[in-house]
């Protein structure tokens, strides 16, 4: 069985080198723009070229993240950047935006594209869609189990996460940071609302929970299950961590390299915990749920426990249960305060460099600790310094030397891929000091600071010949330089292809459409709006007619069969499967933000496209220059997050969700409604979107379809909303 690729993160050049020299087969990096980790160091274009050349020298692939949604006015710059990555040797790009994937396939057909986990890849039909688009690999949703992954029927390469931070929301399905904080996760700027404290509210009363971080998952760690992962048909195993340190990247890469190669590793758990952990989970891959998945007591790195505070006055007296050294970082668990151990005292009050398990030590109370706290070590100074030093990878090479009297010396260098020959001067007969094989081997072996190490040397030579050592050194230097050049050279050209922006602009009458949550809302809207959407299938069937649409489930691993139905599609698998036999429009969950995505969906048979609520008025206007076959949500309660995890069952009796109202309350006392559907949790916005004052502007842009997204409105409120809209746009 072929070993899977080990894919490591690199937020900067130091991390990239640490990944390569500790055994990564490939690394993924991001530039300064268009990547889903905007706050990592990331690479300038000059640094990207350097990174690709360096990695290719060591036969390591480089994938570049360009996995954000792309606004209309960014298209030209985005394609220019993709061309730069292709021409400079990027092995693949990781993308989210389907419009840009389609455009890139036309403009740069040889560019390898991987569909990001941000495209929410959780069923066979999504994979078929990407196959149709020309994508070669899909990064699968982190919510899939190993069994579900094995059951996917595709010849695309499959990539899964095996270690690192987890998003609790299905990737690409989260609007929490964007709509509640102005920093879009779909644009690489997530503010991490899932790592903030919340109170669980049930029917207006708080529920006591074991912790406040109700949306914060543990760190993924599959080290104990590696053989089961190796037994799958997954081609690439991915470590999360482009915002982590080079020391972390090197350590995790080396750990998984040993596991993949030998199914064993040295005792690394303690070091791993000191480097970074929020406690560990084996994730959805192995069906971990509730407290096996979540750490609701702390959203941060918790390190390891190393002692207890015994007494506090001017200094903090601590009994150690593990070692502590000067310059270590520690945190006091209950107080949630931390410090760097600049000065460490023994029981005699003398400064010391380190202390051992069982010792009594004292620290200056410079952060005003007042309680007899638990002490955690969050930074191990000596471990970090140890990890900064690693043995650099060397590339084994072979030399073949032919040295015959009266003939030119001939030396060939080869690695596992390239073979290069250099011809030297004519060999003379030795008068006094013939060269020996040992002399030749000694000179050729002097590879010094090059990335190579001698594996084999084959010498075919006459006796009694003379070769100047200087010439051997020069030939070796030239051959090494030529081999480096061969391993890093790029020979790519762009086709002469120009893409004319299609103008699919349509004109139609103004339409008002509505999503409803229940039968009362639907009855209030019949004959008052143009189209009605519902996610209640029984309700859809009961009132089924030409203007009633069923909203599909956006987290399905197995799509239902529909024929001759009206469907509001929420994910890409449905986009592939349903338009052939159904009347389909697309929902805002698809993150559509440019006309290229709209035109692509129309080509696939989608009759109308709902824009992402993340768009500003100016960004919508940019799109309507080319296409106005779109729907804009102008009022309603929007979904911020959907999780394959049930907050309610973790903290309250199941299935209480059927008859009670639940909310998350943040520190600002904002209440986010919770909807539990088929044991998946949907978090709704605490406030309603209202764009009534923007209606005339949208109408002037050419927008003809306006949607209201109802949640808990009653009949009188609904009528009031409709009347207000009609007064403005008529």
Q: Sketch the domain layout of the chain as residue ranges.
A: 5-166+217-264, 304-388, 395-488, 511-638+685-729
Q: Do residues 173 and 120 lie in contact, with contact meaning Cβ atoms separated by under 8 Å?
A: yes
Q: Which residues of the chain have pLDDT under 50?
A: none
Task: Look at residue 702 in the predicted model and tell me its pLDDT.
Answer: 92
- 304-388 adopts what CATH topology? Elongation Factor Tu (Ef-tu); domain 3 (2.40.30)
Helix (H) or strand (E) holding 597: helix 595-603
Residues 6+ apart with CB under 8 A from 523: none
Task: Look at residue 507 in the predicted model and tell me its pLDDT.
Answer: 66
Task: Look at residue 679 in the predicted model and tell me its pLDDT.
Answer: 84
Is 304-388 in the same CATH topology as 5-166+217-264?
Answer: no
Task: Look at residue 504 in the predicted model and tell me its pLDDT.
Answer: 66
Task: Look at residue 39 in the predicted model and tell me its pLDDT.
Answer: 63
| Residue 627 CB-half CA count within 13 A | 27
Task: Look at residue 1 in the predicted model and tell me its pLDDT.
Answer: 64
Task: Look at residue 628 in the predicted model and tell me its pLDDT.
Answer: 87
CA distance 445 to 399: 10
Domain 511-638+685-729 falls under CATH 3.20.20.70: yes
Superfamily, domain 5-166+217-264: Copper homeostasis (CutC) domain (3.20.20.380)
CA distance 496 to 478: 37
**Which DSSP letter does residue 156 get?**
S
pTM: 0.94
Note every long-range contact of 421-430, with CB atoms under 8 Å and residues 24 or more positions apart, other chains counting: 422/475, 422/478, 422/479, 422/482, 424/471, 424/475, 425/471, 427/403, 427/462, 427/465, 427/466, 427/467, 428/465, 428/466, 429/405, 429/464, 429/465, 429/466, 430/464, 430/465, 430/466
Task: Look at residue 495 in the predicted model and tell me its pLDDT.
Answer: 85
CA distance 420 to 398: 11
């Amino acid at each position: 069985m072929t070993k899977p690729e080990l894919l490591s993160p690199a937020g900067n050049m130091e991390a990239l080198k640490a990944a390569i020299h500790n055994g990564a087969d490939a690394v993924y990096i991001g530039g300064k723009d268009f990547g889903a980790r905007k706050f990592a160091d990331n690479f300038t274009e000059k640094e990207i070229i350097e990174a690709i050349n360096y990695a290719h020298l060591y036969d390591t692939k480089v994938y570049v993240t360009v996995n954000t949604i792309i606004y209309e006015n960014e298209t030209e710059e985005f394609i220019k950047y993709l061309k730069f990555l292709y021409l400079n040797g990027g092995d693949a790009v990781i993308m989210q935006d389907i419009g840009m994937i389609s455009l890139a396939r036309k403009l740069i057909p040889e560019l390898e594209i991987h569909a990001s986990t941000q495209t929410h890849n959780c069923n066979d039909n999504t994979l078929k869609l990407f196959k149709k688009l020309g994508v070669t690999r899909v990064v699968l949703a982190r919510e899939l189990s190993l069994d579900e992954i094995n059951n996917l029927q595709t010849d695309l390469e499959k990539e899964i996460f095996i270690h690192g931070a987890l998003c609790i929301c299905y990737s690409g399905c989260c609007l929490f940071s964007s709509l509640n904080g102005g920093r879009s996760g779909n644009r690489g700027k997530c503010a991490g609302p899932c790592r903030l404290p919340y109170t669980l509210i049930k029917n207006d009363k708080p529920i006591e929970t074991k912790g406040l971080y109700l949306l914060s998952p543990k760190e993924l760690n599959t080290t104990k299950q590696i053989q089961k992962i190796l037994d799958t048909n997954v081609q690439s195993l991915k470590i999360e961590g482009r915002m982590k340190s080079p020391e972390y990247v090197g350590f995790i890469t080396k750990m998984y390299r040993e596991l993949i190669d030998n199914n064993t590793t040295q005792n690394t758990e303690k070091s791993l915990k000191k480097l970074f952990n929020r406690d560990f989970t084996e994730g959805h891959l192995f069906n971990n749920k509730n407290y096996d998945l979540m750490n609701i007591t702390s959203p941060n790195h918790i390190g390891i426990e190393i002692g207890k505070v015994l007494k506090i006055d001017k200094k903090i007296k601590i009994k150690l249960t593990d070692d502590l050294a000067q310059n270590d970082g520690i945190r006091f668990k209950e107080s949630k305060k931390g410090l760097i151990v600049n000065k460490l005292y023994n029981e005699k009050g003398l400064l010391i460099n380190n202390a051992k398990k069982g010792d009594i030590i004292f620290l200056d109370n410079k952060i005003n600790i007042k309680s007899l706290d638990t002490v955690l070590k969050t930074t191990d100074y000596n471990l970090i310094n140890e990890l900064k030093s690693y043995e650099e990878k060397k590339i084994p090479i072979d030399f073949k030397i032919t040295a015959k009297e009266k003939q030119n010396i001939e030396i060939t260098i080869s690695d596992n891929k390239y073979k290069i020959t250099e011809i030297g001067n004519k060999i003379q007969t030795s008068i006094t000091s013939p060269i020996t094989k040992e002399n030749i081997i000694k000179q050729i072996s002097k590879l010094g600071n090059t990335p190579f190490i001698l594996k084999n040397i084959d010498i075919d030579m006459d006796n009694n010949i003379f070769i100047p050592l200087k010439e051997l050194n020069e030939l070796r230097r030239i051959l090494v330089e030529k081999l480096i050049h061969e391993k890093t050279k790029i020979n790519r050209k762009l086709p002469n292809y120009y893409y004319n922006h299609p103008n699919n602009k349509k004109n139609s009458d103004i339409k008002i459409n509505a999503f409803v949550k229940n039968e009362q809302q639907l009855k209030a809207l019949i004959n008052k709006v143009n189209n009605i959407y519902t996610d209640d299938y029984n309700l859809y069937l009961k009132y089924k007619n030409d203007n009633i649409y069923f909203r599909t489930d956006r987290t399905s691993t197995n799509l239902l069969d529909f024929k001759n139905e009206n469907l509001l599609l929420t994910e890409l698998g449905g986009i592939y499967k349903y338009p052939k036999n159904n009347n389909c429009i697309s929902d805002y969950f698809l993150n559509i933000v440019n006309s290229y995505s709209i035109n692509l969906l129309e080509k696939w048979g989608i009759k109308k496209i709902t824009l992402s609520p993340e768009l500003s008025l100016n960004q919508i206007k940019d799109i309507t220059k080319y296409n106005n076959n779109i729907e804009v949500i102008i009022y309603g309660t929007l979904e911020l997050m959907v999780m394959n995890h049930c907050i309610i069952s973790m903290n309250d009796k199941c299935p209480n969700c059927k008859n009670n109202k639940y909310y998350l309350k943040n520190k600002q006392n904002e209440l986010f409604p919770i909807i539990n559907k088929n044991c998946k949790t949907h978090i709704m916005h605490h406030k309603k979107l209202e764009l009534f004052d923007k209606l005339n502007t949208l109408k002037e842009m050419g927008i003809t379809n306006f949607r209201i997204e109802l949640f808990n409105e009653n009949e009188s409120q609904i009528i009031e909303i409709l009347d207000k809209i009609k007064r403005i746009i008529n």
